[in-house]
């Protein structure tokens, strides 16, 4: 009689491991060819591993609840030499398990006496169970359950180097990662930080892109000096975007299925840095109210946001956001639209730069800022985004019309 392995097969094109649910046989049982012996679960379905031929179960290494890569020996059958030869499993074997050496099954024994997969590709011939390296984001059901238990997301595993099939993060890698975290200084994340993280994760499920345009703001600075109270740079950008969208609201639409849903009103939010996060107050119907009528309300909302006391009617439901990253001294950035929005307009710090004056035939100094427009690429292409940004820049040149 000959011992042959029960191998974890390739259960799908991108499946490189599976979690054992139940052992359907026990040591000593006689099994027939193609009899289900182990029940396993992949990320797609519950399936069974079958016996390759008639024989007797002599060893079961698989444990319920554990995940194993393709090619792992889950157990062993004692079969006739004829069946072993027919399956191509009649290769010479190394010393027996009891002597602590390796068999030719893709399994190597660790110094602790525990077996671990040396590779996801089996070394026994006659078993076409290659493991593909694609789909590295795959997580076993056990991993998903453990992450749900801890309230974690796939993005939280970005810093873990996986040792599983195709570089996948195994449950052992995950538990080791958690144990190592305990050695570091840990502080609880605020509810604000958690909310921002959740919003950004949902936003990042879309294809996002950014276009940019340098814009002269000398006209805005001159206009601002004549105002009392004085509008902030963000409010100029907000009003310019509102007027541009009032001319064509399609860029602010949302793609739902096969339709573009146009916004019912041009309600635009603006980012305000609060303690450990960002809040986005909203100015309703910003295209219908002139700049001078928005200044007081804008200042009040900024103050309430910093105190985290925004009223319910001043948050949510906006079609776009304006953010002034120039307040941090930044010249360029790629802000991310909120999950329910398609657009976010960014404004960099103003800088004095030389600009060629065609009339004077010489360079003259101007104050310039970079405007960026980040957008959902499913709704807008670069051309449409560029035209919208150019229209905003045109309004910047005529602040008295805002």
Spatial contact of 233 and 347, defined as CB atoms under 8 Å apart: yes
Helix axes 141-150, 171-181, angle to 10 degrees: 20
Residues 386 and 369 in one domain: yes
The vertex-342 CA angle with 341 and 347, nearest 5°, equals: 95
**Among candidate residues 354, 347, 358, 294, the one with its CA nearest the CA of residue 323:** 347
Cα(402)–Cα(398) distance, integer angstroms:
7
3-state secondary structure at position 286: coil
Beta-carbon neighbour count of residue 229 at 10 Å? 10
- Residue carrying structure tokens 């930044």: 330
Range of the domain at 177: 141-190
* Average pLDDT of the chain to the nearest whole number: 82
Burial per residue of 61-100, b for 16 or more beta-carbon CB atoms within 10 angstroms, e otherwise:
bbeeebbbbbbbbbbbbebeeebbeebebbbeeeeebeee
110 pLDDT higher than 70 = no
In terms of domains, do 172 and 204 share one?
A: no
| pLDDT for residue 119 is more than 50 | no
Range with the lowest mean pLDDT among 24-28, 248-252, 332-336, 346-350? Answer: 248-252
What's residue 81's pLDDT?
87
Distance CA 344, CA 341 (A): 8
101-115, 209-223, 378-392: segment of lowest average pLDDT: 101-115
pLDDT at 93 over 90: no
pLDDT at residue 105 greater than cutoff 50? no
Check: CB of residue 207 under 8 Å from CB of residue 233.
Answer: no
What is the predicted pLDDT for the residue at 313? 85
> Would you say residue 130 lies in a domain?
no
- Percent of the chain at pLDDT above 90? 44
Distance in angstroms (rounded) separating the CA atoms of residues 367 and 150: 51
> Is residue 250 domain-shared with residue 367, that is, in the same domain?
yes
60's tokens: 């079961």
Residue 279 lies in a domain: yes
pLDDT in tens, 127-151: 333 333 333 355 677 777 877 777 7
Q: Is 250 found in the same domain as 171? A: no
Angular region, 58: left φ>0, alpha ψ -120 to 50, beta rest: alpha
- Whether 168 and 266 share a structural domain: no
User: What's the domain count of the chain?
Assistant: 3
From first CA to last CA, the distance across the chain in angstroms is: 90
In the prediction, which pLDDT does 139 show? 66
C-alpha–C-alpha distance, residues 73 and 7, integer Å: 5
Instruction: Examine the domain organization and report whether 205 and 171 are in the same domain.
Output: no
- Residue reference for tokens 């709704």: 379
Instruction: Name, in order, each residue with C-beta under 8 angstroms of 156's C-beta and a sequence gap of 6 or more.
Output: 147
Cross-strand partners of 95: none
Average pLDDT over residues 362-370: 93
Clarify whether residues 234 and 360 are in a common domain. Answer: yes
- What was the pLDDT predicted at 28? 94
Enumerate the β-bridge partners of residue 73.
7
State the pLDDT at residue 310: 83
In whole angstroms, give the CA distance from residue 30 to residue 48: 17
**Would residue 11 count as lying in a domain?**
yes
172 found inside a domain: yes
Band (165; pLDDT cuts 50, 70, 90):
low
Out of 10-14, 76-80, 338-342, 391-395, which region has the weakest mean confidence (pLDDT)?
10-14
Please report, for residues 76, 132, 337, the alpha-carbon distance to residue 285 in angstroms, rounded to integers and kept in the order given: 72, 53, 19
* pLDDT over 80 (residue 43): no
Q: For the domain that residue 71 is a member of, what is the CATH number? A: 2.40.50.100
User: Looking at the structure, do residues 177 and 199 belong to the same domain, yes or no?
Assistant: no
pLDDT for res 134: 35
pLDDT at position 151, please?
76
More confident residue, 122 or 184: 184
pLDDT of residue 254: 87
Most confident of 38-52, 79-93, 100-114: 38-52
Residue 23 forms beta bridges with which residues? 38
Spatial contact of 332 and 319, defined as CB atoms under 8 Å apart: no
What is the domain-level CATH number for residue 346?
3.30.559.10
Report yes or no on 47 lying in a domain: yes
- Do 196 and 178 belong to one domain? no
Helix (H, G, I), strand (E, B) or coil at 92: coil
């Amino acid at each position: 009689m000959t011992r042959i392995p029960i191998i974890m097969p390739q259960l799908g094109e991108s499946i490189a491991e599976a979690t054992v649910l139940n052992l359907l046989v026990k040591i000593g049982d006689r099994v027939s060819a193609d009899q289900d012996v182990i029940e396993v679960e992949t990320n797609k379905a519950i399936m069974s591993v079958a016996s390759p031929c008639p024989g007797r179960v002599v060893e079961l290494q698989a444990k319920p609840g554990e995940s194993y890569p393709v090619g792992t020996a889950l157990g062993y059958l004692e079969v006739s030499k004829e069946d072993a030869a027919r399956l191509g499993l009649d290769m010479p074997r190394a010393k027996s398990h009891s002597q602590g050496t390796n068999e030719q099954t893709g399994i190597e024994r660790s110094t602790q006496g525990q077996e671990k997969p040396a590779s996801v590709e089996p070394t026994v011939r006659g078993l076409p169970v290659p493991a593909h390296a694609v789909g590295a984001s795959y997580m076993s059901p056990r991993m998903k359950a453990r992450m749900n238990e801890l309230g974690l997301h796939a993005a939280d595993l970005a810093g873990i180097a996986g040792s599983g099939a195709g570089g996948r993060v195994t449950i052992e890698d995950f538990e080791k990662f958690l144990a190592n975290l305990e050695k570091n200084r840990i502080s609880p994340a605020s509810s604000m930080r958690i909310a921002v993280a959740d919003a950004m994760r949902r936003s990042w499920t879309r294809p996002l892109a950014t276009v940019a345009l340098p814009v002269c703001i000398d006209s805005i600075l001159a206009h601002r000096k004549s105002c009392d109270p004085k509008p902030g740079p963000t409010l100029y950008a907000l009003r310019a975007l509102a007027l541009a969208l009032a001319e064509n609201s399609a860029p602010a639409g949302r793609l739902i299925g096969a339709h573009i849903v146009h916004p019912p009103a041009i309600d635009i939010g603006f980012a305000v840095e609060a303690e450990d996060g960002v809040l986005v107050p909203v100015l309703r119907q910003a295209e219908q109210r002139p700049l001078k009528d928005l200044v007081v309300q804008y200042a009040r909302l900024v103050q309430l946001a910093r105190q985290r006391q925004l009223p319910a009617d001043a948050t949510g439901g906006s079609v776009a956001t304006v953010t002034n990253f120039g307040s941090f001294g930044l010249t360029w950035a790629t802000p991310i639209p909120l999950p329910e929005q398609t657009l976010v307009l960014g404004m960099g710090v103003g800088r004095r730069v030389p600009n060629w004056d065609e009339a004077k035939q010489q360079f003259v100094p101007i104050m310039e800022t970079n405007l960026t427009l980040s957008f959902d690429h499913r709704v807008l292409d670069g051309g449409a985004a560029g035209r919208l940004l150019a229209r905003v820049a045109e309004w910047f040149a005529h602040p008295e019309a805002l």
